[in-house]
Amino acid sequence: QVQLVQSGAEVKKPGASVKVSCKASGYTFTSYGISWVRQAPGQGLEWMGWISAYNGNTNYAQKLQGRVTMTTDTSTSTAYMELRSLRSDDTAVYYCARECRSGAFDIWGQGTMVTVSS
């Protein structure tokens, strides 16, 4: 079946970097884009950015420009999100999601908890 499976929970110190993976299966990876969305504890959903799995084009939320990089590896149908210079307010569950033609996110990963703490 169509699914996105993310890497496991991470604990990082302030100033460090984290890289979360999102492995796709059950569909043609290069036919869809992948967006990343995060959710701080008890808070709403925040869109972080998007990457085309077809050509690698990216579009990042202005708030995260310069700290986030999204990449894909088409040989393994995997998307990656790296966030640098981590701060305590980056503590959140990070989701990857497949973006369909309508612009909606129809398939979601299970989420990866990233905790930033000294």
- Do the Cβ atoms of 83 and 90 come closer than 8 Å? yes
Nearest approach in angstroms of CB 100 to another protein is 8
Which of 24, 70, 105, 114 touches another protein (CB under 8 A)? 105
The answer for residues whose C-beta is within 8 angstroms of residue 4's C-beta and 6 or more apart is 22, 23, 24, 34, 96, 97, 98, 107, 108, 109, 110
Structure token pair of residue 19: 């890289």
Nearest approach in angstroms of CB 86 to another protein is 22
# binding residues, another protein (CB under 8 A) = 20
The residue type of 106 is D
What gap in Å lies between CA 70 and CA 88, rounded to an integer? 21
Which of 8, 13, 41, 62 touches another protein (CB under 8 A)? 62
Which of 103, 114, 115, 117 touches another protein (CB under 8 A)? 103
Binding site for another protein (CB under 8 A): 35, 37, 44-47, 50, 62, 95, 97, 100, 102-106, 108-111
